[in-house]
Amino acid sequence: MRIEKNKVVSFHYKLSEGGTELEYSREGDPMMFLYGHGGLISGLEDAMEGRRNGDNFCVTVPPEKAYGHRSPEAVQRIPVKHFGTKKKLKRGDVAALQTSQGPLDVTIIKVGKFMADVDANHPLAGRTLTFDIDIVDVRDATEEEISHGHAHGPGGHQHP
């Protein structure tokens, strides 16, 4: 079965940047997503179109088709009390910031007694990424998956 809109695709991936491996999905369940609903970065969706189960391929994706460019405005100084945690934060931690649009994951750059410098850019923003993809399975989506806009089951969306 070919990958096209409203197919559910399961795949393993290896993510690297300039020859350095960053993530590898082989140890867990394959990733699963509903094709054509924006659930994946566009560079990867483009590269998957028309592929079948068993295919493997490699694609290098520039920031504009991956996690976007880094925005200097996303680096901000904010009061430590805006974090909904009692845990002591340190440089490099990722913490959830409570915002009016809901929780936002930010990377801690520096923490003082009352203020913290944080970076709200996606950790992979501004990076050219190489994906090694193994397509494990391609199937038709259910009507429920299409109406929700995501795949269900292991590796996909788990409803409580």
**Positions that interact with Zn ion (CB under 5 A):** 148, 157
Instruction: CB nearer to Zn ion: give 30 or 156.
Output: 156
CB of 157 to Zn ion, least distance (A): 5
Distance in Å, CB of 151 to Zn ion, minimum: 8
Question: CA-to-CA distance for 49 and 141, rounded, in angstroms?
Answer: 16
- DSSP summary character for residue 84: S
Nearer to Zn ion, 18 or 160 (CB): 160
Q: Which is nearer to Zn ion, 14 or 157 (CB)?
A: 157
Closest CA to 43 of 138, 129, 122, 141: 129
From the CB of 158, what's the least distance to Zn ion, in Å?
A: 9
**Minimum separation from the CB atom of position 8 to Zn ion (A):** 12
Closest of 102, 29, 14 to residue 60, by C-alpha:
14
What are residue 142's phi and psi, to 5 degrees?
-80, 165
Closest approach of Cβ 34 to Zn ion, in Å?
9
Which residue in the shown chain puts its C-beta closest to Zn ion?
148
Contacts 24+ apart (CB under 8 A), 88-94: 89/116, 94/123
| Nearer residue to Zn ion within complex by CB, 73 or 144 | 144
Between CA 64 and CA 125 the distance in angstroms is 9
Instruction: Please say which residue, 34 or 111, places its beta carbon nearer to Zn ion.
Output: 34
